[in-house]
Amino acid sequence: MKKTNFDTYLDEQLADPAFAERFATAGASWDVALQIAALRERAGLTQKELAKKLHTSQQQISRLESPAYEGHSISMLRRVARALNAEVKVVFEPEHRRRSAVVAEPKARYGKS
């Protein structure tokens, strides 16, 4: 598939290590948000219903499902996982692997080739 202007622009931006780091962080937040929302929906729960199970507010669930939110705590993620019959896994990767993955991931993650 031919590269789009956006693909070219993104490749140029990812050459900057600071941008690549911010891009990876945003991607991780996006992944967490989408996983929580998908698990909740698969369980047939609304945000309000999940909030009730967790003894928290619907607004907190909305924050957890927001790709812009970066305040996830491991304890809250574990509570969400238990309520949704899932488990939390945290993976630390060597920095050199992470940086090469940041450059490779965007196309795979967003369906570009």
Answer whether residue 56 shows pLDDT above 90.
yes
Whole-model pTM: value is: 0.65
pLDDT tens sequence across 66-111: 988 888 899 999 999 999 999 999 888 887 655 555 544 444 444 4
CA–CA–CA angle 55, 82, 94 (5° rounding): 120
| Whole-number Å distance between alpha carbons of 90 and 92 | 7
| CATH node for 5-106 | 1.10.260.40
What is the per-residue pLDDT for 96? 66
Dig out the tokens for 75 from the structure. 């304890």
Q: Please, are residues 37 and 70 in contact by the beta-carbon 8 Å criterion?
A: no
Helix ranges (H only) for 15-94 are: 17-42, 47-54, 58-64, 74-83
- Residues 28-53 as b/e (b if ≥16 CB within 10 A, e otherwise) read ebeebbebbbebbeeeebebeebbee
